[in-house]
Each structure stands twice: as structure tokens, then as C-alpha cells.
Chains A and B, each alone.
Chain A
Amino acid sequence: EIVLTQSPGTLSLSPGERATLSCRASQSVGSSYLGWYQQKPGQAPRLLIFGASSRATGIPDRFSGSGSGTDFTLTISRLEPEDFAVYYCQQYGNSPLTFGGGTKVEIK
């Protein structure tokens, strides 16, 4: 099973700042099979990024993904008030499909 480690656990930032979230896999996820999700309290997760760097439908271009192999990054270029949430990465290159433990982006 591929273990995904997300860091930091919590990121305290102000609106307008840049957020950089990391997701590291215990082994290569292969061919960029990595997605990112946003979850707000009391809501279901929402797909942001698939294929490591492709934005899902309707996702603003301030969200971008990068990386390959074992190291991946989600960047939010300028935080908007609605971006404060928990973010999860998910690998889908190996069974079982697994998620990281999440990074909480909170208002500083």
C-alpha cells in the first residue's frame, strides 16, 4: 500500500498569500496518478486536480498542481476567503487507492 504523507499538517496564512502544500508518496505513484481535493467543514470533498497538474472543471486557475513520481505540490497562488479548508491528496496508480492525511489551511 502506498502511504501518502502531507505536510505541513496546518498552514496558517492570510488572504492574498501564496499557499504551498506537499504530498509525498512512499513509492512512485507512476505516470502522475495523483489528485487533490478540497474539503470544507460539513461538506463532501471536491476534486481540484487530477493527473498531478490538470484542473478539474470549474476550478479557478489560482489552483495549480505539479510533481511526479513521489513528490507532489498543490499551490494556491493567492488565497481567497473561500480557500480556507482541508486539502487531501490521493494516489490512483496502485491498489488500494489511498489518501493523504490532509493539510488544513487556516486563516492567520
Chain B
Amino acid sequence: QVQLQESGPGLVKPSETLSLTCTVSGYSISSGFYWGWIRQPPGKGLEWIGSVYYSGNNFYNPSLKSRVSISVDTSKNQFSLQLTSVTAAETAVYYCVRTYGSGGYFYFDYWGQGTLVTVSS
């Protein structure tokens, strides 16, 4: 059974960098699939942030591309999100996901439980 678990600070200051890690169990990241992040502001809808293959090939939401980086650490079976220069509007629950598909045609078949990140001074 594939399981994903997010970890990282729950509070980030405006203009600083949001950093989260997702630990995967029950599946080896290096065996395949893309791995990604989706966020959901409180009471609102879902926004795809980006997805990355274990070898480094990545797809990002163009609206965030200049500020986002997703990396993979196969030795720890983890992948990470970095989002720079955050604002209060980016307060959200951040989900890590297993991404099914290729060439940017993705849907999301396994989800972490989500972690709330609040952007506030």
C-alpha cells in the first residue's frame, strides 16, 4: 500500500521560502511515476503546483514556475517542495501526491493527508 506523509514548518513568514518534504512508503520512488504537490487554501479549491520524475524531469504550473522547485532524494525515498517569496495568499493545506501519467498528462492516484502551512509574520 502506497503511503505519503508530508512534513515541514507549519508557519512561514511572508517573503521567505516554504519548504516541505514528502516521505513515501510502500513504493520505491525510483521505480517510476511522477511525484508532485497540490495545495488547497482553507475553504477553497485545489491548485496543482508541479510534478517531477525521479530522474529529474519536471512539470510546473506556469503561474508558479519562477518560484517553485521540486526535487527527489531516492536514497531517502522522499521528494521536496521549495516555494520562494511566499505571501499570505499562499496559506493552504499542501498535499503531496503520486502522479500518474507522462508528458504532463497527469492525474493523482495517491495523496498524503496534507499539512497546513500558514504564511504570516
Q: Which residues of B contact A88 (CB under 8 A)?
A: 45-46
A46, A93, A95, A97: which has the most chain B beta carbons within 10 Å? A97
- Judge whether A44 and B100 touch: CB under 8 Å: no
Interface of A is mostly: loop
Contact of B106 among A44, A45, A92, A102 (CB under 8 A): A92
Q: Find out whether the CB atom of B61 lies under 8 angstroms from the CB atom of A96.
A: yes
Whether A44 contacts B114 in the complex (CB less than 8 A), given A96-B61, A96-B63, A99-B46, comes out as yes
- In the bound complex, what is the Cα–Cα distance between A100 and B112 (angstroms)? 20
Number of chain B residues whose Cβ lies closer than 8 Å to a Cβ of chain A: 21
Chain B residues, Cβ within 8 Å of A46: 111
Nearest chain B residue, comparing its CB with the CB of A98: B48
Task: List A45-80 residues whose CB lies under 8 Å from chain B.
Answer: 45-47, 50, 56
Query: Which bracket fits the contact residues of A?
Result: 20 to 34
For the complex of A and B, the 10 pairs showing the least CB-CB separation, nearest first, are A44-B111, A35-B107, A99-B46, A97-B48, A96-B61, A50-B107, A47-B109, A92-B105, A101-B45, A92-B106
Chain B residues proximal to chain A, CB less than 8 Å: 45-48, 59, 61-63, 95, 100-101, 104-109, 111-114
Given contacts A35-B107, A35-B108, A50-B107, 14 further A-B contacts (CB under 8 A): A33-B105, A37-B108, A43-B113, A44-B113, A44-B114, A90-B107, A92-B101, A92-B104, A92-B107, A93-B105, A95-B104, A98-B48, A99-B47, A102-B45
